[in-house]
Structure 1
C-alpha cells in the first residue's frame, strides 16, 4: 500500500552505478518531488540505514551524485570495510526559487517533504530498507542548514546529523538567493535558527557534527555556532579543514559524515 497518489520509479534495466530515481506526488509540495537513491549492491541486505543528503542552493536531486560522486565514494568505503552498507537518499529541495531552505513557506511544506515523504518513499520502494531502518541526515550549505535544523527540531526522527559549510540561520540565505529573504520567515523565530533549536531540544539531541572550510564565506557563522554550543555545554563535534565553499571540499569531507554515521549506528 503506497502513501502517494503517484510514484514513478526508474527501470533497473537502464540504471547505472546503483543509482535509482523516483518521482512522487505529495500534498506537501502541491505537486511532484524527485529523489535520487544510491542502493548498495550487496546481497541479503535488510533494514539498511537511510542517509538523507540535502543539497545546497541552485541544485537538485542529481547534484550530490553528479558533482561530488558520493555514490562512488560510499561504495568504495563499503567495499574497503570502512563503513557498513547504507542507502543514500538525495532529494530535491522542492525547487522553489534558488532554494527552499527546507522550511515551510509560500504555501508548501518543504520541511515535511524531507522529514516525512522522502523517508516513506524510500521505505516503500527500496527493498533493503524498512520502517526499522535507522535514519540520519546531512547536507551542504543550505542543505547543512536543513540537516542541522530539521535534526534539532525532530530529534526523535534522526539518529545522527551532519552539516558541511552550513548556513546557520535563515538570515544568511540572502548571501546566495535572489528571492526576498522574508519569504522564509517563520512564525516562531526559533524555527529559523539552528542554535536556538539545538538549545531548545538539547536534552534529546542525537549525536551531531559539522565542519567548514577555513576559506569559506560561512566560516565565521560556523565558528560562532560552535562557540555558542560550547558555552551551553551542548555536546557536538566541530572541525575546520582547508578549503572554500566548493564541490571539491564537499566531495572530500562527505567521507567524514559517512564515517560518523557508521560509528553511531554500530
Structure 2
C-alpha cells in the first residue's frame, strides 16, 4: 500500500486546464491517426527503421480498483506491434497534470511523434500507457491513485500485452502533478522502474525527506535514473530545484534541465521529443 502525502499544488490556474472528453468503457479498435510529416534526424545507430509508419491508441478501463471506480487509460501500441514478441516491449507509464486528463498526451502530439521516431529508427519501439487520475484535486494523503497504478494497472498491462516484465523494462513519468506522482510512487517502490521522468515537477510536500529516509533501505546505486526539467519561469521551479538538490546530496543518478519557458502546454510540447528520446536511451543503456 502506498502512503501518500499532502500535495503542494493549489487549484489549477486557467493555463493548465485542458478540455476533458468522455470515452466509452470499451476498447476502441480502430483509433488510428496520421503521423506528421515533420522531418527528423538520421536513425540511431543499432536501431533498424521499419516499414510500418503508424501505431495505434486503444482505450481501456479496469475494475475493481482501490479508487472505487473503474480506471480509464489509453495504450499506445508502436508501429508493427507484435502481440507475440519475445521477450516483449518496454513500457512507459505517463501521468497527466492537475486540471487535465489522459488526453493531454494526445493533444501534445505524442502518438504522432512516437510514430515518427520509431518508424524511422530514431528510438526502439515501446508501449506508452496513459492513465486518467479522476480525482486530481484530492489530497495525495487521501488518494489511492498511486496504489492503483502499482496494484492494478501494471499487472494488467503485463498480463494483456507483449511486454517484458521487470523493472528494467518499465519507466514512469509525468507532467506537473503527474510528475509529483511519479516521484512519490518511486519513493515508495524504487525497485519497480528503471527510469523516472519529472517534467515541470510539482513535488508533493515532504517527499524530499521521505527520499532521504528511503535511502536507508535502498542505497543510491539501487535507485532508478531520474530526469528533471523545468522552464525558467515555471511557478514550481523552487520546489523542483530543491528536490534535485536532494538527489545530488544523496548521490542518486539524475539529470537536471533548466530551459526557457513556463509551466504550460507550449513548454511541454516543445520538449516532448527530448522526453521520448531520454526514456528510450535508458532502455538502450540497460540492454546487454
| TM-score of the pair, normalised by structure 1 | 0.79
Q: Counterparts of 1:1-266 in structure 2 under 5 Å?
A: 9-12=26-29, 14-17=30-33, 18-44=56-82, 46=85, 47-66=88-107, 68-93=108-133, 95-96=134-135, 98-100=136-138, 103=140, 105=142, 109-126=144-161, 128-131=162-165, 134-170=169-205, 192-194=206-208, 196-197=210-211, 200-201=214-215, 202-203=219-220, 204-266=222-284
Deviation per residue, 1:144-186 (Å, 9 max, x gap) = 111122123211111110110101223xxxxxxxxxxxxxxxx
Q: Tell me if structure 2 keeps the 8 A contact 1:152–1:205.
A: no
Deviation per residue, 1:182-202 (Å, 9 max, x gap) = xxxxxxxxxx41453266234
Q: 1:224 to 1:44 in 2, by over 3 A?
A: same
Q: 1:86 to 1:194 in 2, by over 3 A?
A: farther
How much has 1:37 moved relative to structure 2? Answer: 1.0
SS in 2 for 1:124: helix
* 128-137 or 210-219, which deviates more: 128-137
Give the number of the structure with larger relative contact order, counting CA–CA contacts within 8 Å between residues 6 or more apart. Answer: 2
Give the Cα separation in 1 of the matches to 2:164 and 2:251. 35
Q: 1:230 to 1:199 in 2, by over 3 A?
A: farther
How much has 1:130 moved relative to structure 2? Answer: 4.7
Q: 1:134 to 1:59 in 2, by over 3 A?
A: same
Q: Tell me if structure 2 keeps the 8 A contact 1:168–1:195.
A: no
How much has 1:135 moved relative to structure 2? Answer: 1.0
Deviation per residue, 1:71-102 (Å, 9 max, x gap) = 11111111222210011100011x11x4346x
Q: 1:100 to 1:157 in 2, by over 3 A?
A: farther
Higher strand share: 1
Give the Cα separation in 1 of the matches to 2:27 and 2:82. 22
Give the Cα separation in 1 of the matches to 2:278 and 2:209. 21
Find runs of 4+ consecutive structure 1 residues off by over 6 angstroms.
none
Give the Cα separation in 2 of the matches to 1:195 and 1:263. 29
Q: Tell me if structure 2 keeps the 8 A contact 1:147–1:163.
A: yes
Structure 2, unaligned stretches of length 5 or more?
1-24, 34-55
Q: 1:194 to 1:75 in 2, by over 3 A?
A: farther
How much has 1:38 moved relative to structure 2? Answer: 0.7
* Equivalent pairs, count: 231
- CA RMSD, Structure 1 to Structure 2 (Å): 2.2
How much has 1:54 moved relative to structure 2? Answer: 0.4
How much has 1:44 moved relative to structure 2? Answer: 3.6
Q: Tell me if structure 1 keeps the 8 A contact 2:234–2:261.
A: yes
